[in-house]
Amino acid sequence: MYILIINAGSSSLKYQLFNMPAPEPLCTGLIERIGTDHSLIRHTVPSRQGNPVFEQNEPIASHARGFEKLVALLSDSRFGVIRHPDEIVAIGHRVVHGGEGFTQATLITPEVKEKIRSYFPLAPLHTINFTCIEIAEMTFPKAQQVAVFDTAFHQTMPEYAFRYAIPEALYRQEGIRVYGFHGTSHKYVSEKAAAWLRKPEAKLISIHLGNGCSITAIQNGRSLDTSMGFSPLAGLVMGTRSGDIDPAVVFHLMANGYSPDEVYTLLNKQSGMAGLTGFSDMRDIKKLRDEGNPAAELASELYAYRVKKYIGAFAAVLNGLDAVLFTGGVGENDSDMRARICRNLDFLGIHLDPDKNKTSGSGLREINPAQAGVKILVVPTNEELEIARQSFALLETD
């Protein structure tokens, strides 16, 4: 069953085509800098000998134009993997916000679209997901459309974990509560880890570190608590987001002339590592740190310290710990940051093996000493495969 996975950002379009239930993609692609004159298209075909790659810079004015390029590449005589777009049975979409209404993958109907639209005020930066659903419906009229929600995995949190201490009417009428995000990633890596541990009931702390960062307490495959909250702004320090901050800072800024939009932009796009160092990419910050830049050193310590605090809190939530999981671009590749985070957590049974930590590799790997009570695992995430699996399972039972 051919299932195309769409993961859209505000100026990007990632895709993978699977022939489910096989877990290896037939092709993968990324269109970056949509809406500029310097858009980049990169399409690879790992299912074919030689792993052919198509790469081109050209203006891509919109996501709709990106879909046109995607369709052409899927059936291209050299780089294509299907004969005709109608061979695709389903399109699986990453949708950031599913509110309380969606706890699992869902077939997209007019009613479902209306409900997704109702959550726009909760995630105003991520309405492009909805736009791409509508583009996909026009581009692939014979395919079924499936929505997989970032928030769905966290719908197992107990009420005392997801409620804020504010008047109940704000929860009941306005939906103000902890939703949590990165759920598709946390679900994927926690299932991989539990299978590797041969312990489905494992107590896990999953740490997703990329440009966006979150940490989740998981037991028996269920999310018990998570660092992101009503929006993806809460919790850990991120590339451009502040993470946790005293709400009084917002009032102070507005009293000093900032508009709500300016505060929103400040905390979401100009803070985090970018606010502390001028750079949001951890690779740039590491280079500065290696050059002795004090701002980069402070930012790195602050970043690690925030993660460390959440590890301690979530170990208490779980009443024990079987494994700590590192995933995401930074979590998987930055050995120095992993070492900073795990330093002085011996009392929890968290010990890092320095040599294993510095040894790069693909696939799930263990970076703790052999006899450690708590496993420390690097688990590469694969949100597209997880979306494909959930879409396939839904269609098989429909």
Confidence label for 357 from pLDDT (cuts 50, 70 and 90)? very high
Kindly tell me if the per-residue pLDDT of 126 is higher than 80: no
Q: What pLDDT is recorded for position 20?
A: 96
Please give, one letter per residue, the 3-state secondary structure of 53-66. Answer: EEEEECCCCCHHHH
- Can 2-149 and 198-378 be said to share one CATH topology? yes
Tens of pLDDT along 287-334?
999 999 999 999 999 999 999 999 999 999 999 999 999 999 999 999
> Is 182 marked as a binding-site residue?
no
Task: Give the per-residue pLDDT at 29.
Answer: 95
Q: What pTM, to 2 d.p., does this model score?
A: 0.93
pLDDT at 7: 92
Report the chain's mean pLDDT, rounded to a whole number.
Answer: 95
* Per-residue confidence (pLDDT) for residue 15, from 0 to 100: 96
Whether residue 210 is annotated as binding a ligand: the answer is yes
Q: Label residue 50 by pLDDT band (50, 70, 90).
A: confident
Give the per-residue pLDDT at 236. Answer: 99
User: Is 211 annotated as a binding-site member?
Assistant: yes
Give residue 125's pLDDT. 67
- The CATH architecture to which 2-149 belongs is 2-Layer Sandwich (3.30)
pLDDT digits (tens, 9 = 90+) for 337-354: 999 999 999 999 999 999
Topology given in CATH for the domain delimited by 198-378 = Nucleotidyltransferase; domain 5 (3.30.420)
pLDDT band per the 50, 70, 90 thresholds, residue 265: very high
Has 150 been annotated as catalytic? yes
What pLDDT is stored for residue 230 in this prediction?
95
Of 37, 76, 86, 150, which one is the catalytic site residue?
150
Instruction: Extract the tokens encoding 36.
Output: 């500029």
- Does 332 appear as a known binding residue? yes
pLDDT in the model for residue 127: 85
Name the residue ranges covered by the structural domains of the chain.
Answer: 2-149, 198-378
Q: How confident is the model over 316-326, as pLDDT tens digits? A: 999 999 999 99
* Three-class HEC string of the chain: CEEEEEEEECCEEEEEEEECCCCCCCEEEEEECCCCCCCEEEEECCCCCCCCEEEEECCCCCHHHHHHHHHHHHCCCCCCCCCCHHHCCEEEEEECCCCCCCCCCEECCHHHHHHHHHCHHHCHHHCHHHHHHHHHHHHCCCCEEEEEECCHHHHHCCHHHHCCCCCHHHHHHHCCCCCCCCHHHHHHHHHHHHHHHCCCCCEEEEEEECCCEEEEEEECCEEEEECCCCCCCCCCCCCCCCCCCCCHHHHHHHHCCCCHHHHHHHHHHCCHHHHHHCCCCHHHHHHHHHCCCHHHHHHHHHHHHHHHHHHHHHHHHHCCCCEEEEEHHHHHHCHHHHHHHHCCCHHHCCCCCHHHHHCCCCCCEECCCCCCCCEEEECCCCHHHHHHHHHHHHHHHC
> Is 7 annotated among the ligand-binding residues?
yes
Tell me whether residue 99 is annotated as binding.
no
- Strand ranges across the sheet with 53-57: 53-57, 40-44, 27-32, 12-19, 2-9, 90-95, 144-149, 106-107
